[in-house]
């Protein structure tokens, strides 16, 4: 179900209208908001190296696809365009992923300004719950800072709330890891970046994100190639388990946050 999420059906062209904001005209979106679609998901990805076997846009494709599934499950929910430019560390001298060709990094302040501007825009147009979905661990704290700032500013008029949804990312570090270990994979294989967990999720979203020939039996990829884990036994079946866990945990958390709001 994920392979087609990168090319959503145009609104009005199928029985189920698109949940992606950028597929609609302004009048179509206005009508959807007036009809009760007052929750908007802000998918946050990132453009970074993911080893020689996985595309630079992995986070962007994955978070868009998963956000679409979450929106469908919630109902009355729209998905904003993916934010693909995020903090990735020092540019000069380059550190972490910036040491590898293709990674794009912006300052924390610029990233937070974009999130803040987006949330203010959505409030202006009638959205009442703005949900940040961060697919990457490095900027979770930035999401929280922006949400805290805006919620404090809007405390006297609680019509709109901003939610930095920690559960979306946390499940990939907890429940998904436990599920993979239950299938016989080791911590060394699962890894923390571009390993079996990361690669299996990408395969489940769209196999084209992964260069399977690079994963053929042979030399194990390591830190020198930007890989922290062992992706050679990655597979879409395992990835689908993780994707469903992300969706389920996020839907429950968003419903609870909206009910509290």
Token pair for residue 107? 């300052």
Is residue 142, in this structure, part of any structural domain at all?
yes
Is residue 13, in this structure, part of any structural domain at all?
no
pLDDT at position 15 is 65
CATH number at residue 236: 3.40.50.10310
Is 215:231 a contact under the CB 8 Å cutoff? yes
What's the average pLDDT block by block, 10 residues per block, for the chain (261 residues)?
47 69 98 98 98 98 98 98 97 94 97 98 98 96 98 92 97 97 98 97 98 87 96 97 98 95 71
Q: For the chain, what is the domain count?
A: 1
CA 10 to CA 25: how far, in whole Å? 11
Is residue 9, in this structure, part of any structural domain at all?
no
pLDDT at position 16 is 80
Is residue 194, in this structure, part of any structural domain at all?
yes
Give residue for tokens 């020198």: 224
**Nearest alpha-carbon partner for 78 in 116, 113, 121, 43:** 43
pLDDT at position 218 is 76
Residue span of the structural domain in which 112 resides: 21-260
CA 57 to CA 180: how far, in whole Å? 24
pLDDT at position 216 is 83
Is residue 6, in this structure, part of any structural domain at all?
no
């Amino acid at each position: 179900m994920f392979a087609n999420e990168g090319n959503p059906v145009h609104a009005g062209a199928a029985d189920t209208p698109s949940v992606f904001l950028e597929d609609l005209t302004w009048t179509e979106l206005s009508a959807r908001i007036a009809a009760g679609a007052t929750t908007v998901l802000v998918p946050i990805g990132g453009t970074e190296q993911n080893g020689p076997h996985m595309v630079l846009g992995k986070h962007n494709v994955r978070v868009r696809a998963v956000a679409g599934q979450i929106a469908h499950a919630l109902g009355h929910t729209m998905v904003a365009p993916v934010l693909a430019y995020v903090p990735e560390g020092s540019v000069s001298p380059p550190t972490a992923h910036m040491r590898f060709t293709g990674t794009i990094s912006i300052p924390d302040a610029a990233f937070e300004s974009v999130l803040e501007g987006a949330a203010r825009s959505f409030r202006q147009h009638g959205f009442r719950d703005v949900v940040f979905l961060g697919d990457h661990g490095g900027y979770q704290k930035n999401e929280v800072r922006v949400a805290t700032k805006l919620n404090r500013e809007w405390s006297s008029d609680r019509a709109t709330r901003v939610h930095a949804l920690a559960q979306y990312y946390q499940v990939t570090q907890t429940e998904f890891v436990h599920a993979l270990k239950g299938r016989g994979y080791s911590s060394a294989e699962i890894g923390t970046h571009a390993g079996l967990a990361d690669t299996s999720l990408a395969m489940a979203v769209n196999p084209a994100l992964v260069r399977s020939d690079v994963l053929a039996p042979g030399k194990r990829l390591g830190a020198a190639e930007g890989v922290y884990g062992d992706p050679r036994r990655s597979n879409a079946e395992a990835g689908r388990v993780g994707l469903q866990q992300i969706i389920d945990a996020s839907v429950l958390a968003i419903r609870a946050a909206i009910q509290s709001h």
